[in-house]
């Protein structure tokens, strides 16, 4: 069956959002991404799709219409995630003066030209409180002026089968003030949400006890079939060495006969010595005091809970970051004395194994960490198809 739903992805990155929307039945016809390496990954995995490799401020309305052949009102879905560094609760400065926080206005500029049936804006949870809510208010006012009904929620990736404690703020708007639907939890997964708006905007699985929720996906469900590596080793275009060991692995290996991007960073002698003391689910607290980095020697035991953490096979992974550096989170392999590989991070993000990341190792981790988990994007896409239908 040929896809009949057309989508455009702005601020596309490596294409996690497009990957998931495709799984839901949307066909991308145009993407925009300023980073040339990320754009190359998008092109690698979405052959034939035009990617505008430029700053969105230099992307003209006419170019979008000419390349796609669309007329205003034709497009089913406009999706995008304006850069979130300025919005993040982890950013050292969170200010409306940060120019990155105004790129959502460029997204709305293109939306006014295309007038899609539905549009998505996704970002980090920190966007909710930025400027004491003025960014959220501005998005609502602009979309209301355009004739859209809009709602937003903070979605948890674990609710959609992703083995990761990751939250994203998602705005969904429907043209002609239509109904807005969000995907409800499919998996019985929970995580501590300690950011502003969590109680009001996140789904609580306790409210879905009458529905047959699936067990949450664990770290081991995601990566246990991948070959062992030594620190700094790379297995690219290699063999799996065995069959999938879980339904999740079977799903992500579909369409892939070879293993790509299974490469991890080197570790210094200090980290190799620290690893010997860190059990599954453990962290920096398990490292002898004399082996701790200077900063952690001064830390309180209640601080930096995930730093130098070793993943527990039966639990979910902490949020995959643009640097899977153990200094910043729980990124040591559950059973091997090394950090996780790009492919393992991609598995935890729910990318299919046939999805190939270009660039050097640092760039590959950045692309994986910045992406919307495809399984979460697919769940959103299914809800949007209901809205359009």
pLDDT tens digits for 63-77? 999 999 999 999 999
Q: Could you tell me which of 319, 308, 324 has the C-alpha nearest to residue 357?
A: 324
Q: Does 328 map to a domain? A: no
Please, what sign has the CA dihedral across residues 262, 267, 271, 275? positive
Average pLDDT over residues 327-354: 97
pLDDT tens digits for 4-31? 799 999 999 999 999 999 999 999 999 9
Contact 135, 95 (CB under 8 A): no
Confidence of residue 193 (pLDDT cuts 50, 70, 90): confident
Q: Does 278 map to a domain? A: no
Q: For residue 252, give every residue at least 6 positions away whose Cβ sits within 8 Å of its Cβ, in sequence order, or none.
A: 222, 347, 350, 351, 352, 353
Domain count, the chain: 1
Q: Does 182 map to a domain? A: yes
CA dihedral 313, 314, 316, 318 (to 10 degrees): -50
> What region does 275 belong to: left with phi over 0, alpha with psi -120 to 50, or beta?
alpha
- How many CA atoms within 13 Å lie on the side-chain side of 9? 30
List Cα–Cα distances, 318 to 168, 171, 331, in angstroms: 14, 24, 8
Average pLDDT over residues 269-294: 96
Give the phi and the psi of residue 88 in degrees, each rounded to 5.
Answer: -65, 140
Taking 50 as the threshold, does the pLDDT of residue 293 lie above it? Answer: yes
User: The tokens of 113 are what?
Assistant: 């030209």
Contact 325, 290 (CB under 8 A): no
User: The tokens of 235 are what?
Assistant: 């297995």
Average pLDDT over residues 151-159: 97
CATH of the domain at 12: 3.40.50.150
Based on the number of CB atoms within 10 Å of its own CB, is 99 exposed (0-12), middle (13-18) or buried (19 or more)?
A: exposed
User: The tokens of 42 are what?
Assistant: 């998008």
Neighbours of 232 (CB within 10 A): 13
What percent of the chain has a predicted confidence (pLDDT) above 90?
80
Q: Does 221 map to a domain? A: no
Report the C-alpha gap between 284 and 302 in whole angstroms: 11
Q: Does 294 map to a domain? A: no
Confidence of residue 39 (pLDDT cuts 50, 70, 90): very high
Q: Does 39 map to a domain? A: yes
List Cα–Cα distances, 63 to 6, 30, 31, 112, in angstroms: 17, 11, 12, 14
Q: Does 343 map to a domain? A: no
User: The tokens of 52 are what?
Assistant: 């505008």
Q: 56: domain range?
A: 5-210+372-388
**Is the pTM of the predicted complex or chain greater than 0.85?**
yes
- pLDDT score, position 1: 36
- pLDDT score, position 100: 59
Give catalytic residues, as residue numbers. Answer: 84
Average pLDDT over residues 248-253: 98
Q: Does 376 map to a domain? A: yes
List Cα–Cα distances, 383 to 106, 119, 171, 241, 257, in angstroms: 25, 12, 13, 38, 31
Q: Could you tell me which of 57, 56, 14, 15 has the C-alpha nearest to residue 37?
A: 14
Contact 218, 163 (CB under 8 A): yes
Average pLDDT over residues 278-287: 97
């Amino acid at each position: 069956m040929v896809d009949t739903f057309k989508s455009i992805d702005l601020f596309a990155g490596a294409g996690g959002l497009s990957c998931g929307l495709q799984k839901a039945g949307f066909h991308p016809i145009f993407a925009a991404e300023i980073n040339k390496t990320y754009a190359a990954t998008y092109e690698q995995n979405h052959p034939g799709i035009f990617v505008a490799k430029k700053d969105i401020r230099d992307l003209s309305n006419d170019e979008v219409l000419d390349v796609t052949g669309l007329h205003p009102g034709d497009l089913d879905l406009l999706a995008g995630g304006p850069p979130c560094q300025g919005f993040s609760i982890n950013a050292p400065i969170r200010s409306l003066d940060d120019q990155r926080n105004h790129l959502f206005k460029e997204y709305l500029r293109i939306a006014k030209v295309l007038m899609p049936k539905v549009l998505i804006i996704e970002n980090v949870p920190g966007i909710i409180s930025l400027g004491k809510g003025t960014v959220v208010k501005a998005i609502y006012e602009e979309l209301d002026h355009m004739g859209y009904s809009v709602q937003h929620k903070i979605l948890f990736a674990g609710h959609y089968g992703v083995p990761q404690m990751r939250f994203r703020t998602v705005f969904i708007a429907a043209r002609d003030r239509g109904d807005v639907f969000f995907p409800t939890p499919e998996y019985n997964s929970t995580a501590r949400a300690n950011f502003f708006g969590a109680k009001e905007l996140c789904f609580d699985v306790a409210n879905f006890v009458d529905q047959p929720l699936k067990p949450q996906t664990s770290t081991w469900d995601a990566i246990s079939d991948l070959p062992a590596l030594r620190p700094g080793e790379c297995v690219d275009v290699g063999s799996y060495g065995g069959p999938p060991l879980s339904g999740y692995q079977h799903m992500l290996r579909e369409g892939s006969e070879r293993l790509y991007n299974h490469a991890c960073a080197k570790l210094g002698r200090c980290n190799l010595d620290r690893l010997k003391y860190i059990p599954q689910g453990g962290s920096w607290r398990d490292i002898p005091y004399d082996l701790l980095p200077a900063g952690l020697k001064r830390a309180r035991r209640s601080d930096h809970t995930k730093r130098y953490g070793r993943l527990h096979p039966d639990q979910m992974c902490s949020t995959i970051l643009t640097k899977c550096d153990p200094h910043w989170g729980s990124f040591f392999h559950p059973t091997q004395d090394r950090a996780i590989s790009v492919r393992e991070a991609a598995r935890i993000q729910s990318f299919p194994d046939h999805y190939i990341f270009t660039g050097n190792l640092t760039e590959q981790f950045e692309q994986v960490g910045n992406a919307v988990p495809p399984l979460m994007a697919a769940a959103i896409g299914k809800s949007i198809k209901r809205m359009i239908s």
